Amino acid sequence: MKKFIPLLILFLLVISCKTKDDVVYFNGIDSKDNIIGIDSYSPTYHIDDELIIIVSAIDSEAARPFNLMAVSYSDDVRYASVGRERLQSYIIDPEGNIDFPVLGKVKIAGLNREQATNLFVNKLKDYIKEPIVNIRTLNYKITVLGEVARPGTYTAINERITLIEALGMAGDLTIYGERENVLVIQDYDGKKTFTRVNLKSKDLFDSPAYYLSQNDVVYVEPNKTQARASGIGASTGVIFSSLGVIISSAALIITIISLNNN
């Protein structure tokens, strides 16, 4: 019985140990793999995106009809009368359009910021001399779930975010996160795509899910070690405690029998 206890401890250590390669990202990358290129990725606008569009010009009065009025709002309805001011926003409708002052319906779904800006500038030239258009996305958010330190929804301030940056915002993967099979769920105007990404491979940088779009979801599933532990259930502690009691009781009985025999 006494020999059994060290064996049990050794078994638990073996099934829980991990090697360095199990947790290291970007395996196989060497300095000779350096690639110099132009990073031209730019996210496009989707249905239900919320945008603020500001039109300005040398003649500010000429630009005024093309801007929505600022409205007062408050996070607490009890104090709505003393809320902060914010420019009204546009929501891209199911057809990919927004209803823009004077111009009417303008389709911008599928365009990136540069393309949408140029579209508005060209349309506004008929009304304003040298118009300037600034577009900002208000709901550029990414959700990170599963085996990360801080699961939750995060806002991409610069309106462009990579998978690595999103995981960094969530505090990185826990030691129990499956690094070879991270799931990225993306929604393109109602059509969902599911992409599996291996964080341990340099091929990650060529993945279509390396750059995330607004409202994407990243899910880090538990690795085999965590899955085995979860399979035991919430009673894991009780089971090991019970085993300890049984082993201790058996050892006590054996000791008592040995003393009586002597």
Q: What is the pLDDT along the chain (262 residues), one digit of tens a residue?
A: 555 555 545 444 444 455 545 556 666 556 555 554 446 678 889 998 999 999 999 999 999 999 988 776 655 555 555 556 677 899 999 999 999 999 999 999 999 999 999 999 999 999 999 999 999 998 889 999 999 999 999 988 777 899 999 999 999 999 999 999 999 999 876 788 999 999 998 888 889 899 998 889 999 999 877 666 655 554 555 555 566 667 766 666 776 776 666 6
Query: In terms of domains, do 240 and 214 share one?
Result: yes
Q: With b meaning 16 or more CB within 10 Å and e meaning fewer, what string describes 238-260?
A: eeeeeeeeeeeeeeeeeeeeeee
Query: In terms of domains, do 117 and 82 share one?
Result: yes
DSSP 209: T
Amino acid at the residue 262: N
Query: In terms of domains, do 240 and 258 share one?
Result: yes
List beta partners, residue 201. 27
Distance CA 217, CA 133 (A): 30
Number of domains in the chain: 2
Query: In terms of domains, do 25 and 147 share one?
Result: yes
Query: In terms of domains, do 19 and 57 share one?
Result: no
198 touches 180 (CB < 8 A): yes
* Domain stop point among 90, 112, 137: 137
pTM above 0.75, yes or no: no
224-232 and 236-261 helices cross at what angle (nearest 10)? Answer: 70
Q: Which helix (H) or strand (E) holds 224?
A: helix 224-232
